[in-house]
Amino acid sequence: MLTYCHDGSFEGLLSAFAEALASGRPADCEFLPATTKAPGSLFGSRTVPRRAEVAADLLQSLERAGGDQVPRTLTQAYLSELPGCESALFEYCVLTLERRECVDGWLAHRAVARVLEAVRRVGRETHRFQGLLRFMETEPGVFYAPFAPDHHIILPLSRYFAGRLRDQQWLIHDRRRDLAVYWDGQALQPACVEPEPGHAGSLPALSTHEKTVQQLWRTYHGHIAIATRANPRLQRHFMPRRYWPYLTEMQPV
């Protein structure tokens, strides 16, 4: 088995796919990010550099073979970051190029089913955070929204809010991956987040108005709760605990 090592980016993965297809050994290979532990000496490995033009050519070939749905499926499945998803994506590409059609309906095929499950997970979490993400006003007047998603959904989520909050400046921060996207009112751009001075890992300095609103909301949330009807298990079912650190009402009053 030959292992293709790539830089972990979408273009890098597609570059590795293109090299594997060109080698004529599509059924006997696997794909790993360069940061992953290298395979043993019994298996061969090859490091593939990221080549944007090669990745674009492969995407165009896939689109010609299966239609414009194929690039969308590939992109969303890649964002899932599920372990071992690269091999299923490669098999999905091979099927598309061989059959000259979109194979998204091949639900009985193991690789296709795995790719579509990754797409569903990404779409489900993106939709969840479209209603769950909380924006907080910082001292500079920029609205800040931290979260820690299971999947790499910051870009599709940012595109959604670019349409919903076009007249505000805001920044969405994926704290799990330490990535941020800033909307300046005109375009999306990558950004870095500076924590409050002297508090590494904390939130940026919030405005006085924001602190007051958060305190009022926590107080209100605490007063409307009916202690005799508390059901922590049901609460965790509808709002998993991993989301609590970014919900204002779940912080102590």
pLDDT in tens, 182-191: 999 999 999 8
Q: Is the confidence at residue 195, as pLDDT, over 70?
A: no
147 and 237 share a domain?
yes
Q: Which domain holds residue 43?
A: 2-125
Query: Which range is least confidently modeled, 51-60, 120-129, 146-155, 217-226?
Result: 217-226
Within this chain, do residues 242 and 184 fall inside the same structural domain, yes or no?
yes
Looking at the fold, whether 113 and 171 belong to one and the same domain comes out as: no
User: Does residue 137 share a domain with residue 119?
Assistant: no
Q: Are residues 120 and 145 in the same domain?
A: no
Q: What's the confidence (pLDDT) of residue 69?
A: 94
pLDDT for residue 43: 58
Give the residue-averaged pLDDT of 227-238: 87
In the prediction, which pLDDT does 8 show?
A: 87
Residues 140 and 118 in one domain: no
Same domain, 137 and 120: no
**Do residues 29 and 94 both lie within one domain?**
yes
What's this model's pTM, rounded to 2 decimal places? Answer: 0.85
Shared domain for 114 and 145, answered yes or no, is no
pLDDT in tens, 96-114: 999 999 999 999 999 999 9
Determine which of 57-61, 82-86, 93-97, 152-156 has the lowest per-residue pLDDT on average: 82-86
219 and 185, same structural domain?
yes
H, E, C per residue of the chain = CEEEEECCCHHHHHHHHHHHHHHCCCCCEEEEECCCCCCCCCCEEEECCCCHHHHHHHHHHHHHHHCCHHHHHHHHHHHCCCCCHHHHHHHHHHHHHHHCCCCCCCCCCHHHHHHHHHHHHHHHHHHHHHHHCCCEEECCCCEEEEECCCCCCHHHHHHHHHHHCCCCCEEEEECCCCEEEEECCCCEEEECCCCCCCCCCCCCCECHHHHHHHHHHHHHHHHHCCHHHCCHHHHHHHCCHHHHHHCHHHCCC
User: What number is the average pLDDT over the span 111-130?
Assistant: 95
Q: What is the pLDDT of residue 41?
A: 47
Q: Is the pLDDT of residue 24 over 60?
A: yes
69, 94, 125: which is the final residue of a domain?
A: 125
Domain boundary among 125, 147, 182: 125
What percentage of the chain carries pLDDT values higher than 90?
60
236 in the same domain as 144? yes
Do 79 and 186 fall within a single domain?
A: no
> What's the domain count of the chain?
2
What confidence tier does 196 reach under pLDDT thresholds 50, 70, 90?
low
| Average pLDDT over all residues of the chain | 88
Q: Name the more confident of 195 and 59.
A: 59
Looking at 86, 108, 125, the residue that finishes a domain is 125
Is pLDDT of 198 > 60? Answer: no
- Is pLDDT larger for residue 28 or for residue 105? 105
